[in-house]
Structure 1
């Protein structure tokens, strides 16, 4: 009897997971699992393994089209969102970070 209750719980959990991915992204939980395997269970940007991530991998999608792109860690997914999915802004941020030492030196030399 206990085994049946556990099995029902797992089936229900899988069903809810599938329902959530279908409603949010138009894909199945099976598709997400295939993406996880294809990406080696790693974030498509920073390459951290999902076992190192407290919340696992998140589905990244284009907010304009709704198309799923890949799976990302929460940090990378949030960063893309905060930069409004704008590659030009991301390139400018990279340029800024590459100049960080030069910028910091100029500020500290003025004092």
Structure 2
């Protein structure tokens, strides 16, 4: 693949490679977006805030203006954090003094995963 010489890959080599990458990511993207829409629809106060924020964009908005929307970015980050379609453990260690969460006491130095 990397032996294309100084001219690099030919177009007929690039197209199937690019298509493969797009196709490989379509399921995870669809699953994550499905969860995001479901979660937003379940919380009217979040849905209303998100709709108001996006509706305030000008008709011909830029990528920079979307990047700067706090509610939209929070919703995306939470969807990726809570229901990522890519399996992974996010191990964290409690601080030395321990931590409390939802009425439960977790001792210091304990590894937890989400």
TM-score (norm: length of structure 2):
0.30
Compare CA radii of gyration and give the structure with the larger one: 2
Larger relative helix fraction: 1
Structure of higher RCO (CA pairs closer than 8 Å, 6+ residues apart): 2
